[in-house]
Amino acid sequence: MKNFNIENFCIIEPDEADVSFLPMLVRRKLSQIDKMVFSILNKLYNETIDNIIFSSQYGEFDRLNEIISQYQTDNMVSPIKFSASVHNYSPAAFSQMKKITNAYNAISAGNESLETGICTAIIQPDTKTCLCYADDIGIGLVIDTKKTGYEFIQKETNSENLEEFMKFINGEKDIWINALGELRRL
C-alpha cells in the first residue's frame, strides 16, 4: 500500500486545449497531442514540482504516418517533422521553453499508459510530480507522495475504463480499479 495526494488536476478535451500563451508561429506547428500537453503543463506546472511524467498510448501516431507518407512520395523526411514525432517531444519542448531543468519521463504502456503513469508518479519517494496523459483526451495530475489523501494497493485485476477514472478523479466514486491495482480516496 502506498499513500499519496492528488493536489490538483485538469481534464482537457482536444478542442479545449489553450495554447494562447505560445507565439503563433509555435502554435501552428503543434499537433493536437502537443496542444493538450502544453495546455495541461501550463495549467499545472509550478516551481514546487520535482519532475514531469508524460504518458500516452499512441503519442504522435498521426505525425508518424505523415512522415511515412512523405518518405514514400518524396523519398525524404523533414528533419523538423521527424524531431517532433518522438514520444517525449512535447514535455521536452515545454521544459525547454520554460527553462525547466527538472527530470521528465515519457511512458507508453499500451492500454495501461494512464495507470502506468500514475503508478510511476506515486512510487517516487517524497516527490511532487506533474503527470500529463494525452491521447483522445488530456488528463493532468499533480501527485505529492509526501502527503496523504489517496492510497494505491497493488493487485492483479481487470482494468476499468477511462470513463471510470474520470468519475474517480471528479469525486463521483472512491475507488478506481486498474490493471496494476486500486486507487482509493482516503
Tell me: the pLDDT tens digits for 175-186?
A: 988 888 888 888
Report if residue 167 sits inside a domain.
Answer: no
What is the per-residue pLDDT across 157-176, written as a single tens digit (0 to 9) for each?
666 678 888 889 889 999 98
Residue 51 C-alpha from the chain's centroid: 12
Distance between terminal CA atoms of the chain? 12
Residue 160: per-residue pLDDT: 67
Distance CA 40, CA 91 (A): 10
* CATH number of domain containing 108: 3.40.47.10
Between 5 and 1, whose confidence is greater? 5
The domain total for the chain is: 1
Report if residue 152 sits inside a domain.
Answer: no
How far CA 145 is from CA of 7, 47, 58, 71, 125, in Å, comes to: 10, 16, 28, 45, 6
What is the per-residue pLDDT across 29-59, written as a single tens digit (0 to 9) for each?
888 999 999 999 999 999 999 999 999 988 7
Tell me which residue range forms the domain holding 58: 8-144
